[in-house]
Amino acid sequence: MKILFLSDVHGITENLDYIRKVEEKENFDKIVVLGDLYYTGPTFPNHKKIESNSVLDFLSTYKEKIIGVRGNCDSDVDIKNSDFPIADSYTLLCVDGLDIYCTHGHLYNKENHKKFNKNGILIYGHEHIPYIIKEDMIYICVGSISLPRNNSKASYAVYEDKIFTIFSTNGDVIDQIHVEE
Domains of the chain: 2-178 (3.60.21.10)
- pLDDT band of residue 39 (cuts 50, 70, 90) is confident
Instruction: State mean pLDDT over 164-174.
Output: 97
Residue 120 Ramachandran class (φ > 0 left, ψ -120 to 50 alpha, else beta):
beta
pLDDT digits (tens, 9 = 90+) for 122-163: 999 999 999 999 998 999 999 999 999 999 999 999 999 999
* Partners of residue 111 on adjacent β-strands: none
Average pLDDT (68-89) is 93
Res. 45 pLDDT band, cuts 50 70 90:
low
pTM score, two decimals? 0.95
Strands of 86-151, DSSP E: 86-87, 90-95, 98-103, 121-124, 131-134, 138-141
Measured CA to CA, the distance from residue 50 to residue 45 in angstroms comes to 12
At residue 56, φ and ψ (nearest 5 deg) are: -60, -45
Average pLDDT of the segment spanning 89-105: 96
Higher pLDDT, 181 or 113: 113
Give the pLDDT confidence score for residue 149 in this predicted structure.
Answer: 92
Q: What local confidence, expressed as pLDDT, does residue 73 receive?
A: 93
Residue 133's identity, in one-letter code, is I
Q: State residue 48's pLDDT score.
A: 81
Distance, in Å, from the CA atom of 114 to the CA atom of 122, rounded to the nearest integer, reads 11
Please check the confidence at residue 40 and state whether its pLDDT lies above 80. Answer: no
